[in-house]
Amino acid sequence: ESQTTSRCHPHDLEALRDFIAHLEPKPDGWINSSSSTDCCNWTGITCNSNNTGRVIRLELGNKKLSGKLSESLGKLDEIRVLNLSRNFIKDSIPLSIFNLKNLQTLDLSSNDLSGGIPTSINLPALQSFDLSSNKFNGSLPSHICHNSTQIRVVKLAVNYFAGNFTSGFGKCVLLEHLCLGMNDLTGNIPEDLFHLKRLNLLGIQENRLSGSLSREIRNLSSLVRLDVSWNLFSGEIPDVFDELPQLKFFLGQTNGFIGGIPKSLANSPSLNLLNLRNNSLSGRLMLNCTAMIALNSLDLGTNRFNGRLPENLPDCKRLKNVNLARNTFHGQVPESFKNFESLSYFSLSNSSLANISSALGILQHCKNLTTLVLTLNFHGEALPDDSSLHFEKLKVLVVANCRLTGSMPRWLSSSNELQLLDLSWNRLTGAIPSWIGDFKALFYLDLSNNSFTGEIPKSLTKLESLTSRNISVNEPSPDFPFFMKRNESARALQYNQIFGFPPTIELGHNNLSGPIWEEFGNLKKLHVFDLKWNALSGSIPSSLSGMTSLEALDLSNNRLSGSIPVSLQQLSFLSKFSVAYNNLSGVIPSGGQFQTFPNSSFESNHLCGEHRFPCSEGTESALIKHHHHHH
Ligand SMILES: *[C@@H]1O[C@H](CO)[C@@H](O)[C@H](O)[C@H]1NC(C)=O
Ligand SMILES: *[C@@H]1O[C@H](CO)[C@@H](O)[C@H](O)[C@H]1NC(C)=O
Ligand SMILES: *[C@@H]1O[C@H](CO)[C@@H](O)[C@H](O)[C@H]1NC(C)=O
Ligand SMILES: *[C@@H]1O[C@H](CO)[C@@H](O)[C@H](O)[C@H]1NC(C)=O
Ligand SMILES: *[C@@H]1O[C@H](CO)[C@@H](O)[C@H](O)[C@H]1NC(C)=O
Ligand SMILES: *[C@@H]1O[C@H](CO)[C@@H](O)[C@H](O)[C@H]1NC(C)=O
Ligand SMILES: *[C@@H]1O[C@H](CO)[C@@H](O)[C@H](O)[C@H]1NC(C)=O
Ligand SMILES: *[C@@H]1O[C@H](CO)[C@@H](O)[C@H](O)[C@H]1NC(C)=O
Ligand SMILES: *[C@@H]1O[C@H](CO)[C@@H](O)[C@H](O)[C@H]1NC(C)=O
Ligand SMILES: *[C@@H]1O[C@H](CO)[C@@H](O)[C@H](O)[C@H]1NC(C)=O
Ligand SMILES: *[C@@H]1O[C@H](CO)[C@@H](O)[C@H](O)[C@H]1NC(C)=O
Ligand SMILES: *[C@@H]1O[C@H](CO)[C@@H](O)[C@H](O)[C@H]1NC(C)=O
């Protein structure tokens, strides 16, 4: 009676039952529903519409499936699409899958699959092959196109493929996307790859490829995105970019490229993004901004460019993000930068620049400037306090490690959108002004390692971003490193995105005196609170237990007295804590995270506590009383 209840071909039904027997959990319809013999009704299955009941698509992406793949999948000989991406399937791919004559799309990305890819593959209808983000190893399956001439997409990124980048992909005449990033490939790009006239995306980043980038790359005339970053490429970048008229994105950071930016690249009208950070490029930086009408993002940080900053950069009318940090430029910010209207993100750290007054006077005219990083320049100059300076849209200002003299600049108070301010490692003096507490969006403040005096302004306890508001960083910042923390390892504390910064107040290593305000307990959103090496006095307010997000609290090397409030045991995220070198007395709390802090967190006080500095009779009984009181 019911054709519909048994449309599923018995051959496929058997194969699918065996397939699902190896996986958990079972998706809807697959096991015990009333239609359990009609596989065409099961979640993720599509059968052919011409009533043969053959399964043509099996799509169970993102279904939390775990287990193994069954050899029986090879029996689904009419299947066109096999998509099991984003699950937890492990072990190797059964050989039978590599012989499915009708398979067009194979997507097994983002699983825990492992092992090698067989040397014999016969998937004549294959168009898209995605095994990325697994644990495959062995040599790169560059023979995939030998029997699969229709292939357009090959994605093998984020695996453990190793050994030489072998030839073979040259047979994929229709190939458009080749993604091999984050493997362990060695050698150079094989010659036959340059046959691929239709290739528009080539991603071979984060491998160990070496040698120079071949001039033959010019044959890839459809390229839109070329990512060779984080490899060991060396030599000069070939001057062939006039033959890549579609190229929008060129990423080559962290290689050993030398020489300058080739003329054809510096004249590219199609290029949107150029990232050659962390190479050994040198000479004067010359870009033809009349030609580069699409350039939006330029990252040439950490190279050896020298001479003056290019005056014509503002003529790149779309240029928004510029990182020229860690080069050996010298001189001043050019006057022409007053007209840099598109500039939004600008980093010039460690570039031997002089005259901060002039630099700020010029850059204030950049109407769209939101992020300015000037660390390690202007050595020993005075930070201008010119009340006519005005940075309306500024969200991020980092001028650290400059040994600047002067005081907190009043002009900053008009930057109402400020989110992040780092003026650490300068020689600023005077009081921290109370208007600092008025910034509605400020969530990261580092004024450490200066010579500020006076009390901590009470207004800091009202910073809206740290008390109530959700920190919202609406625009994604470009993937540029902001700065590296002094004395910390390179990658560990290099923040690339504003939202990567933990909500912080760092005022350590100054000459601040007076109390730690009770009201600091209101800063529920604060993660790092560092007041070390000042002359703060009074007691530690028990209300600090209100800083419920706190991960690090450093009050060491001050003149604090009284006891450590037991309430601090409630700070369940606290992983770094120090009150060493103060005049504290009494009993060290022993609950919560306090069990994990080392003795050095408490040293040089008059503290005592179980297991560490043994308490005398008197204090021990005080501890017991205290506990009783609290329970
Ligand atoms: C199928 O099995 C699941 C769990 O094994 C159960 O929750 C569900 O009620 C069953 N459905 C039918 C129709 O029996
Ligand atoms: C199976 O699919 C048919 C239509 O293809 C539908 O009418 C029927 O309700 C489905 N049965 C179940 C149990 O989902
Ligand atoms: C049904 O469709 C499949 C694939 O689309 C085809 O191979 C097969 O010949 C068709 N069968 C009939 C009876 O039309
Ligand atoms: C596979 O399925 C996922 C959804 O689970 C989808 O995002 C992805 O685009 C599919 N892959 C292909 C190649 O269509
Ligand atoms: C191509 O397919 C044939 C037939 O199945 C097979 O013998 C051969 O090994 C395949 N070649 C490659 C390079 O996978
Ligand atoms: C691949 O990894 C497996 C373990 O997952 C290991 O046994 C095997 O030797 C590796 N093969 C190669 C070629 O590295
Ligand atoms: C890898 O390629 C290099 C040249 O790029 C060659 O010297 C070396 O012998 C190759 N290694 C293997 C294992 O094929
Ligand atoms: C690149 O293109 C030129 C001219 O079309 C051709 O002579 C050369 O063989 C090509 N190189 C490769 C490696 O395909
Ligand atoms: C810069 O490149 C070197 C290799 O040339 C690499 O070891 C280092 O990690 C890179 N540094 C950064 C910050 O990317
Ligand atoms: C800069 O580009 C413009 C527009 O493409 C071109 O006319 C001019 O000759 C180029 N200048 C140089 C020095 O290459
Ligand atoms: C300045 O920023 C605004 C808003 O983000 C944008 O619409 C405008 O095009 C930018 N101006 C320039 C010259 O890029
Ligand atoms: C600043 O640049 C110099 C030379 O370019 C380099 O040696 C030094 O390590 C850099 N300092 C920092 C903190 O990046």
Give the pair of three-digit tokens for residue 516: 């730690």
| Rounded-to-integer distance, Cα 501 and Cα 421, Å | 11
Using CA atoms, how far apart are residues 218 and 291, in angstroms rounded to an integer?
A: 19
For 280-303, the DSSP string reads EEEEE----TTT--S--EEE--SS
pLDDT at residue 493 tops 70: no
328 CA to centre of ligand 12 in angstroms: 10
In this predicted structure, what is the pLDDT of residue 489? 44
Average of pLDDT values for 115-144? 97
Q: Which tokens hold the place of 591?
A: 């609950």
Q: Whose CA is nearest to atom 10 of ligand 5?
A: 120
Give the Å distance between the CA of 98 and the centre of ligand 5. Answer: 10
Question: So what's the pLDDT on residue 387?
Answer: 87
Q: Three-state SS for 570? A: helix
d(CA 506, CA 448): 6
The pLDDT value recorded for residue 471 is 62
Q: Is the CB of 280 under 6 A from ligand 5?
A: no
**472-491: average pLDDT:** 57
Q: Token pair of 375, please?
A: 């660390």
Between 545 and 491, where is the model more confident?
545
Burial class (CB in 10 A: 0-12, 13-18, 19+), 437: middle
The token pair at 458 is 């009470």
Which residue, 390, 343, 388, is CA-closest to 369?
Answer: 343
From the CA of 126, which ligand is nearest? 4
Which residue has tokens 């430029």? 329
Q: Which of 40, 50, 78, 102 to mutate to test the pocket of ligand 3 (most atoms within 8 A of CB)?
A: 50
Residue 497's pLDDT is what? 66
Residue 306: what pLDDT? 95
What is the tens place of the pLDDT at every residue in 7-29? 889 999 999 999 999 999 998 87
Which residue's C-alpha comes closest to atom 6 of ligand 8? 219
- Give the number of other CB atoms < 10 A from CB of residue 107: 20
**C-alpha dist (Å) from residue 590 to 567, 575, 593, 605:** 11, 14, 8, 17
Ligand minimally distant from the alpha carbon of residue 54: 3
Q: Please give the backbone phi and psi of residue 184, each rounded to the nearest 5 degrees, phi first.
A: -125, 45
CA distance 405 to 400: 12
pLDDT at 37: 81
* Long-range contacts of residues 572-577, Cβ cutoff 8 Å, at least 24 apart: 572/548, 573/527, 573/548, 573/549, 574/550, 575/551, 576/551, 576/552, 577/552, 577/553, 577/601
pLDDT bin (cut points 50, 70, 90) of residue 108 is very high
Q: How confident is the model at residue 612 (pLDDT cuts 50, 70, 90)?
A: low
Q: Is residue 625 over pLDDT 50? A: no
What integer is the mean pLDDT of 101-107? 98
Mean residue pLDDT of the chain comes to 91
Least confident of 2-6, 34-38, 117-121: 2-6
| Residues with a CB atom less than 6 Å from ligand 3 | 48, 50, 52
Q: Are 132 and 179 in contact (CB under 8 A)?
A: yes
Phi, psi (degrees; rounded to nearest 5) at 343: -60, 125
DSSP annotation of 43:
T
Residues of the chain with pLDDT > 70, as a percent, come to 90
Nearest CA to ligand 1 atom 7: 32
Contacts with 567 (C-beta within 8 Å, 6 or more apart), sequence order: 542, 543, 544, 545
pLDDT tens for residues 507-542?
Answer: 999 999 999 999 999 999 999 999 999 999 999 999
Give the whole-angstrom CA distance, residue 496 versus residue 533.
Answer: 29
Residue type, 269: P
Q: Please give the C-alpha separations between residue 292 and each of 227, 251, 267, 309, in angstroms, as whole numbers.
A: 20, 17, 6, 17
Query: 92: phi > 0 → left, psi -120 to 50 → alpha, else beta; which?
Result: beta
SS3 assignment, position 171: helix
Average pLDDT over residues 426-448: 96
**Does residue 419 carry a pLDDT above 70?**
yes
What is the model's pTM?
0.89
Percent of the chain scored above 90 by pLDDT? 84
Per-residue pLDDT reduced to its tens digit, 299-350: 999 999 999 999 999 999 999 999 999 999 989 999 999 999 999 999 999 9
**pLDDT for res 500:** 73
> What pLDDT is attached to residue 495?
61
Average pLDDT over residues 207-213: 98
Residue 131 φ then ψ, to 5°: -120, 20
Tokens standing for residue 198: 């239709």
Least confident of 269-273, 405-409, 474-478: 474-478
Q: Is residue 160 pLDDT above 60, yes or no?
A: yes
pLDDT in tens, 40-79: 889 999 999 887 889 999 999 999 999 999 999 999 999 9
Task: Outline where DSSP puts E strands in 348-427.
Answer: 371-373, 396-398, 420-422
Confidence (pLDDT) at 31: 79
CA angle 117, 121, 125 (to 5 degrees): 125
- pLDDT band, residue 477 (cuts 50/70/90): low
Query: Does any ligand 4 atom lie closer than 6 A to the CB of residue 128?
Result: yes
Please give all residues whose beta carbon lies within 6 A of any atom in ligand 9, as ranges.
254, 278, 490
User: What whole-number distance in Å separates Cα of residue 584 and Cα of residue 111?
Assistant: 54
Cis peptide before 310 (omega within 30 of 0): no
Distance CA 64, CA 357 (A): 58
First-to-last C-alpha distance (Å) of the chain: 73
- Mean pLDDT over 182-198 rounds to 97
**Residue 282: which pLDDT band, with cuts at 50, 70 and 90?**
very high
User: What was the pLDDT predicted at 496?
Assistant: 60
Closest-CA residue, ligand 2 atom 2, reads 41
> Which ligand has an atom closest to residue 152 CA?
4
How many whole angstroms separate alpha carbon 8 and alpha carbon 37?
A: 7
The response to whether residue 164 sits with its C-beta less than 6 Å from ligand 7 reads yes
With residue 362 as reference, give the H or E element that holds it.
helix 356-363
Find residue 275's DSSP bridge partners: 251, 299
Instruction: Yes or no: say if 568 and 548 are a contact pair by the CB < 8 Å rule.
Output: no
Within 6 Å (CB) of ligand 11, which residues are found?
Answer: 341-342, 368
Say whether pLDDT at 482 is over 70.
Answer: no
- Dump the DSSP string for 299-317: E--SSEEEESPPTTGGGST
Give per-residue pLDDT as tens, 545-591: 999 999 999 999 999 999 999 999 999 999 999 999 999 999 999 89
Question: In this structure, which ligand is nearest to the CA of 393?
Answer: 11
Phi/psi region, residue 239 (left: phi>0; alpha: psi -120 to 50; beta: rest), is beta
Q: How confident is the model at residue 627 (pLDDT cuts 50, 70, 90)?
A: very low
The Cα 347–Cα 330 span in angstroms is 15
Q: Is the pLDDT at 626 greater than 90, yes or no?
A: no
Q: How far is CA 214 from the centre of its chain?
A: 30
Residue 281 to residue 299: CA distance in whole angstroms: 12
Spatial distance between the Cα atoms of 428 and 507, rounded to a whole number of angstroms: 12
- Tokens, residue 61: 């992406």
